[in-house]
């Protein structure tokens, strides 16, 4: 993959620049936000976008731009960590299942089927209701929610590659399962996992927005894009910018990751 | 901002807010209305357009389509627990008395009553010639049947705790009922607004039959509940004008505002202040206190809240005016104790500013209590009530200034009921306690022995006042006892009493006659259209 290839793919280019932009915002917010994201000022409730408040203020007089910035930390944190949980556990399960096969495969895959039978968000709602709302539990719930899709991708990869001659040769030379899985097969299925990761990322961010929208995700007053969208709803007519801006930001993030994922997939497909 | 200020007099109170009926959820009792003595709801002058120039012509008939945010829970008045359901079905059923506009007892099925010297025997005389919607005459036998069901005298579980104190019911003739109580209970009279149902009729849940001004027509789940005028209503002075009332189930508040604007519905009984702003001119908007106490309950049994100084410090740290401005757009009445001014006769004035916001004083008290660096506090809020969640956010911000580090924890309503209300497993919470018209029910929550005393407040002087109030028949003396009890709650800082959020009703411009009651009651018999 070189720079030329990268710039030729439009989705890849647009997707990665959108994400880079949001990433930049997130990095800046670690050190600086124009106002304290939770600072209330009842004198300037629901003021429209202006120079001093780029995105206007919310119903508590908090600066929406600062809250969006701070909220991007939550979005990235949740997206990244839940995908990491899903990816690592999912690949582990998929590897065991695909590499060893047999009854173990049957049992594991039926369990995954059971997980898949629930709509992901429902599963997350259930987990959060049991363990209580909050950032950590939201991450764990979203992570568990993304295990089945990763494990399926990993399983099919392992099943396919374990029949290849180079793998058989490695086994014949005395390589243990761990070595075969880690050195010989995993690098070969990495590309499809990367694509899935990128797509999953946006799924997790959307799911977090959904959970927070239901009051189950990040707890107030800390900003989360989903909860901001929820809080903006009653003011949809009288302060339309609040709901619009929040919605657009969520859309940009999700669109960015989806384009990135599509672009990466095209790239790898062409290569193979 | 100018428009906003102009409309500040208009109200806020979403239907979801109105649905915080604590007792309703705890028991089977339907009567979330009970008649106390005087309470006054004021409709704000600038928005109340009911009285207009005398040239206005009343139009006969018509249909009122009302947006309801929740589905009825049970059509049987004795089995329903939801206030919304009760306020719809109240038009179908009449009781011995009805809740009056000034929270007096208005005789309905009863024409008069007498209480014996010892306060144990109540004799009610019924009006003659009252017919149920099925054509049957209403006699003392129906009252006996109804009350036997409620009190458990029919050998089954009592359906309402308010009636379980009845020892016997006698019906000397067709139009008199004599009720004997086990012990003196000053709150009993007010309980008699409960529906009287026809004898031996067991299909109330499918096809309710009462003696009220409107007849039940049909209920389509998820769609609508329809009532029609009772032509044979016994009270000619209170006879209904509107032909038909259709309650449309519309859970989305924004959708109902749009529906009112487009003319698909005629009335929204609980509209938010944002909704009122959105409506603009040309609508009848009525707003007033709804007899709710929104408070920040403090668990008086956990550290450090068991220290009265800490509770007082929290009270000093909180600025109620700021909460009312931010969360309720200014449409709320500041409270100082667990009583809304809507309960005029029992309301102890002058407590609202007992703890005037003073952060330095709060810090000083915390220091005296041994918390010079503040402490951590969890505020548990029911996640479905945005109003309370918003209040919690403002309070957390205010407490921070006094050094108290408050964290908000949202939980689901059913978990809230289980953890907070039933088991008092919490530190602090924000909730609204609704419309009880007898002061005993309002203040009795703080009695040490009260099962659902989730404040874990316990004070011997308070218990004494309440137990005296329970049996005091003299109204003035009784009111005085409850006033003292309120002052005690404030002094002890049992909780942070925040506000009574206004209830706001928006209607089509020519729909008139809506009256505010201290309880959630929509009396369609009083309403009419005027010619435009």
Q: Do A219 and B408 touch (CB under 8 A)?
A: yes
* Residues of chain A contacting B411 with CB distance shorter than 8 Å: 132-133
At B52-65, the pLDDT tens digits run 445 578 888 899 99
Nearest-Cα distance to chain A for B280, in Å, is 11
Q: What are phi and psi of B50, to 5 degrees?
A: -60, -45
For B119, other C-beta atoms within 10 Å of its C-beta total 16
Q: Which of A138, A220, A230, A238 to mutate to test the interface with B (most CBs of B within 10 A)?
A: A220
Low-confidence winner among A7-11, B383-387, B456-460 (lowest mean pLDDT): A7-11
Give the residue with greater pLDDT, B14 vs B431: B431
Average pLDDT over residues A139-161: 87
pLDDT of the residue at B280: 84
- Closest residue, chain B, to A58 (C-alpha): B326
Share of chain B above pLDDT 70, in %: 89
Residue A101 C-alpha from the chain's centroid? 30
Mean pLDDT to the nearest integer, B187-206: 90
- Cis peptide bond N-terminal to B480, omega within 30: no
Which of B278, B326, B409 has its CB closest to that of A237? Answer: B278
**More reliable by pLDDT, A29 or B101:** A29
Say how far apart CA B395 and CA B319 lie, in whole Å.
8
Question: What's the CA gap between B345 and B492, in Å, rounded?
Answer: 23
Q: Does A41 touch chain B (CB under 8 A)?
A: no
E strand or H helix that includes residue B431: strand B428-433
Interface of A with B in 121-180 (CB under 8 A): 129, 132-134
B511-512: strand order across its sheet? B58-59, B528-530, B511-512
B206 bridge partner residues: none
CA atoms within 13 A on the CB side of B177: 27
CA atoms within 13 A on the CB side of B225: 28
What whole-number distance in Å separates Cα of residue B364 and Cα of residue B284? 49
Torsion of CA B147, B151, B155, B159, to 10 degrees: 100
Each residue of B136-145: pLDDT tens digit? 999 999 999 9
Best residue of B393, B394, B414, B418 to probe chain A, by most A CBs closer than 10 Å: B393
Question: In this predicted structure, which of A66-75, A155-164, B126-135 has the lowest mean pLDDT?
Answer: A155-164
Return the closest-CA partner of residue B477 out of B433, B439, B424.
Answer: B439
Query: What are B330's two structure tokens?
Result: 């200014």
pLDDT at residue B208, as a whole number: 94
Cβ–Cβ of B407/A219 closer than 8 Å? yes
pLDDT score of B37: 31
List, for residues B496-512, the tens digit of each pLDDT value: 999 999 889 999 999 99
Distance CA A99, CA A88 (A): 16
Do B503 and B9 touch, CB atoms closer than 8 A?
A: no
Q: What is the rounded average pLDDT of the residues A261-267?
A: 82
CB-based contact A233 B254, cutoff 8 Å = yes
Task: Find, among B97, B90, B106, the residue nearest to B177 by Cα.
Answer: B97
Could you tell me if residue B103 is left (phi over 0), alpha (psi between -120 and 50 degrees) or otherwise beta? left
| Cross-chain Cβ contact B383/A216 below 8 Å | yes
A45 touching B (Cβ < 8 Å): yes
Closest CA to B455 of B486, B408, B494, B419: B494
Dist. CA A38–CA A60, nearest whole Å: 9
| Chain A residues within 8 A of B384 when measuring between CB atoms | 215
Alpha-helical segments (H) within B408-509: 413-415, 439-443, 460-471, 475-491
With a CB cutoff of 8 Å and minimum separation 6, the contacts of B373 are B403
Q: Say how many CA atoms lie within 13 Å of B159 toward its Cβ.
A: 17
pLDDT at A237: 81
**B367-392 pLDDT tens trace:** 999 999 989 999 999 887 888 999 99
Question: Could you write out the three-class secondary structure of B251-268?
Answer: CCHHHHHHHHHHCCCCEE
| Average pLDDT, integer, range B270-299 | 88
- The pLDDT of residue B104 is above 50: yes
Which H/E stretch holds residue B218? strand B214-220
User: B190 is written with which tokens?
Assistant: 């007010």
Taking alpha carbons only, the member of A227, A261, A260, A221 closest to residue A246 is A227
Q: How far apart are CA B343 and CA B348, in angstroms?
A: 9
For residue B4, the chain A residue with the least C-alpha distance is A238
Q: What pLDDT digit, counting tens, does each position of A68-99 carry?
A: 999 999 888 888 898 999 999 999 998 888 88
- Using H for helix, E for strand and C for coil, what is the string for B173-207? ECCEEEEEECCCCCCCHHHHHCECCCCCCCCCCCC
CA geometry: angle at B26 spanning B21 and B28, to 5°?
A: 100
Q: How far apart are CA B359 and CA A192, in angstroms?
A: 59
Compute the distance between CA of residue A166 and CA of residue B362 in angstroms, rounded to an integer. Answer: 75
CA angle B99, B102, B107 (to 5 degrees): 40
pLDDT at residue B9, as a whole number: 36
Q: Which class for B460: exposed (0-12), middle (13-18), buried (19 or more C-beta within 10 A)? A: exposed
For residue B465, the model assigns a pLDDT of 93
Q: Report which secondary-structure segment, H or E, holds B512.
A: strand B511-512
Task: Please tell me the distance from the alpha carbon of residue A260 to that of residue A265, in angstroms, as a whole number.
Answer: 9
Tell me, what DSSP letter sits at residue B127? P
Residues near B132 by beta carbon (within 8 Å), at least 6 away in sequence: B138, B142, B198, B209, B210, B211
- Predicted TM-score (pTM) of the model is 0.75
Does the beta-carbon distance from A220 to B408 stay under 8 Å?
A: yes
- The answer to whether the CB of B462 falls within 8 A of the CB of B489 is yes
Across the beta sheet with B121-126, the strand order is B110-115, B121-126, B176-181, B166-173
CA distance A162 to A154: 12
Residue B48 has a pLDDT of 39
Q: What are phi and psi of B347, to 5 degrees?
A: -75, 125
**Interval B83-112 mean pLDDT:** 88
* Residue B137 in tokens: 């005459």
pLDDT over 50 (residue B35)? no
pLDDT for residue B5 is more than 90: no
B428 by Cβ neighbours in 10 Å (0-12 / 13-18 / 19+) ranks as: buried
For the residues A126-147, what does the mean pLDDT come to?
82
Specify the pLDDT at position B50: 42
Helix ranges (DSSP H) in chain A: 3-8, 10-31, 64-100, 102-117, 120-131, 135-161, 165-172, 177-179, 186-213, 225-232, 240-271
Evaluate whether B488 touches B461 at the Cβ level (below 8 Å): yes
Question: How many interface pairs between A and B have CB atoms less than 8 angstroms apart?
Answer: 62
Query: If DSSP codes are grouped into helix, strand and coil, which group holds residue B126?
Result: strand
What pLDDT is recorded for position A6?
A: 65
Could you tell me which residues of chain B have a Cβ less than 8 Å from any Cβ in chain A? 253-254, 272, 274, 277-278, 322, 325-326, 383-384, 386, 389-390, 392-394, 396-397, 407-412
Query: Do A104 and A97 form a contact (C-beta atoms < 8 A)?
Result: yes
Name, in order, each residue with C-beta under 8 angstroms of B231's C-beta and a sequence gap of 6 or more: none
Query: Tell me: the pLDDT tens digits for A24-66?
Result: 999 998 998 888 888 888 788 888 888 888 888 888 889 999 9
Q: What is the mean pLDDT of residues B398-412?
A: 90
Query: Could you identify the residue written with the tokens 């009567």?
Result: B31
Secondary structure (3-state) at B428: strand
Residue A1 has a pLDDT of: 53
Average pLDDT, chain B: 84
Evaluate if residue B49 carries a pLDDT over 50: no
Nearest CB neighbour to A238, from listed B278, B325, B408: B278
pLDDT > 90? residue B315: yes
pLDDT at B4 over 80: no
Separation in Å, CA of A222 to nearest CA in chain B:
10
Contact criterion met (CB below 8 Å) for A12 and A260:
yes
Structure-derived torsion over alpha carbons of residues B434, B440, B446, B449, reported in degrees to the nearest 10: -130
pLDDT digits (tens, 9 = 90+) for B238-276: 899 999 999 999 988 888 999 999 999 999 998 888 888
Query: Which of B53, B189, B146 has its CA nearest to residue B473?
Result: B189
CB contact under 8 A, A60 and B392: no
Chain B CB contacts of A137 under 8 Å are none
Cα B334 from Cα B295, distance rounded (Å): 11
CA angle B473, B294, B419 (to 5 degrees): 100
The pLDDT score that the predictor gives to residue A3 is 66
Q: Any idea which of A246-250, B11-15, B103-107 has the lowest mean pLDDT?
A: B11-15
Q: What is the mean pLDDT of residues B453-475?
A: 89
> Chain A residues with CB inside 8 Å of B407's CB?
219
DSSP-assigned beta bridge partners for residue B59: B529
pLDDT for residue B41: 36
Task: State the DSSP H helix or E strand holding residue B169, giving kind and residue range, or none if neither.
Answer: strand B166-173
pLDDT band at A2 (very low <50, low <70, confident <90, very high): low
Q: How far apart are CA B224 and CA B238, in angstroms?
A: 25
| Rounded Cα gap, residues B207 and B198, in angstroms | 12
- In which residue are the tokens 């025997």 written? B121
Q: Do A234 and B254 touch (CB under 8 A)?
A: yes
ipTM value:
0.74
């Amino acid at each position: 993959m070189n720079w030329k290839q990268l710039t030729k793919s439009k989705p890849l280019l647009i997707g990665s620049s959108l994400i880079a932009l949001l990433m930049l915002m997130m990095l800046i917010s670690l050190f600086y936000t124009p106002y304290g994201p939770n600072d209330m000022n009842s004198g300037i409730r629901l003021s429209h976008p202006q120079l001093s408040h780029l995105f206007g203020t919310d119903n508590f007089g908090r600066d929406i731009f600062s809250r969006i910035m701070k909220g991007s930390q939550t979005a990235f944190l949740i997206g990244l960590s839940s995908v990491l949980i899903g990816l690592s556990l999912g690949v582990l399960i998929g590897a065991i299942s695909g590499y060893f096969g047999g009854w173990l495969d049957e049992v594991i895959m039926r369990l995954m089927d059971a997980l898949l039978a629930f709509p992901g968000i429902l599963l997350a709602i259930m987990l959060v209701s049991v363990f209580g709302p909050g950032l950590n539990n939201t991450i764990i719930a979203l992570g568990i929610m993304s295990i089945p899709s990763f494990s399926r991708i990993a399983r099919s990869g392992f099943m396919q590659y374990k029949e290849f001659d180079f793998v058989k040769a490695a086994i014949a030379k005395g390589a243990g399962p761990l070595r075969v899985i880690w050195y010989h097969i995993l690098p070969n299925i990495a590309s499809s996992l990367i694509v899935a990761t990128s797509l999953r990322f946006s799924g997790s961010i959307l799911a977090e927005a959904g959970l927070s929208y239901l009051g189950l995700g990040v707890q107030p007053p800390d900003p989360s894009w989903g909860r901001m969208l929820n809080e903006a709803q009653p003011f949809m007519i009288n302060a339309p910018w609040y709901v619009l801006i929040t919605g657009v930001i969520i859309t940009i993030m999700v669109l960015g990751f989806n384009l990135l994922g599509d672009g990466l997939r095209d790239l790898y497909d062409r290569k193979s | 901002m100018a428009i906003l200020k102009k409309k500040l007099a208009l109200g806020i109170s979403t239907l979801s807010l109105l649905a915080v009926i604590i007792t309703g959820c705890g028991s089977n009792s339907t009567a979330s209305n009970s008649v106390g003595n005087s309470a006054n709801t004021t409709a704000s002058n600038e928005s109340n357009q009911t009285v207009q120039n005398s040239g206005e012509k009343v139009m006969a008939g018509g249909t009122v389509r009302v947006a309801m945010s929740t589905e009825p829970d049970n059509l049987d008045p004795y089995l329903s627990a939801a206030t919304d359901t009760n306020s719809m079905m109240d038009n179908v059923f009449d009781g011995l008395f009805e809740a009056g506009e000034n929270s007096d007892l208005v005789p309905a099925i009863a024409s008069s009553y007498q209480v014996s010297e010892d306060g144990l025997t109540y004799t009610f005389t019924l009006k003659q010639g009252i017919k149920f919607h099925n054509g049957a005459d209403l006699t003392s036998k129906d009252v006996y049947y109804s009350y036997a069901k409620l009190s458990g005298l029919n050998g089954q579980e009592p359906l309402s705790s308010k009636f379980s104190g009845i020892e016997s019911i006698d019906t000397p003739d067709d139009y008199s009922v004599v009720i004997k109580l086990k012990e003196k209970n000053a709150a009993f009279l007010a309980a008699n607004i409960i529906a009287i149902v026809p004898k031996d009729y067991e299909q109330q849940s499918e096809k309710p039959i009462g003696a009220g001004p409107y007849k039940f027509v049909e209920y389509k789940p998820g769609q609508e509940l329809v009532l029609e005028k009772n032509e044979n209503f016994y009270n000619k002075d209170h006879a209904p004008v509107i032909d038909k009332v259709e309650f449309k189930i519309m859970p989305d508040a924004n959708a109902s505002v749009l529906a009112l604007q487009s003319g698909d519905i005629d009335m929204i009984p609980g509209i938010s202040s944002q909704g009122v702003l959105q409506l603009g001119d040309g609508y009848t908007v009525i707003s007033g206190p709804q007899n709710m106490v929104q408070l920040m309950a403090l668990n008086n049994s956990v550290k450090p809240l068991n220290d009265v100084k800490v509770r007082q410090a929290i009270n000093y740290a909180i600025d109620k005016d700021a909460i009312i401005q931010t969360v309720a757009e200014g449409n709320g009445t500041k409270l100082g104790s667990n009583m809304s001014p809507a309960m005029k006769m029992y309301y102890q004035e002058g407590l609202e500013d007992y703890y005037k916001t003073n952060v330095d004083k709060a810090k000083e008290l915390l220091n005296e209590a041994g918390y010079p660096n503040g402490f951590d506090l969890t505020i548990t809020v029911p996640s479905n009530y945005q109003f309370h969640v918003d209040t919690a956010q403002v309070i957390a911000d205010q407490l921070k200034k006094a050094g108290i580090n408050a964290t908000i924890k949202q939980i689901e309503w059913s978990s809230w009921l289980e953890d907070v209300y039933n088991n008092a497993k919490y530190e602090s919470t924000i909730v609204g306690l609704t419309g009880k018209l007898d002061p005993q029910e309002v203040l009795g929550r703080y009695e040490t022995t009260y099962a659902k005393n989730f404040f874990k407040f316990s004070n011997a002087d308070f218990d004494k006042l309440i137990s005296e109030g329970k049996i005091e028949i003299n109204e003035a003396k009784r009111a005085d006892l409850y006033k003292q009890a309120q002052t005690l709650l404030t002094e002890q800082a049992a909780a942070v009493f925040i506000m009574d959020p206004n209830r706001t009703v928006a209607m089509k411009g020519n729909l008139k006659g809506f009256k505010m009651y201290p309880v959630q009651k929509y009396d369609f018999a009083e309403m009419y259209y005027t010619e435009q």
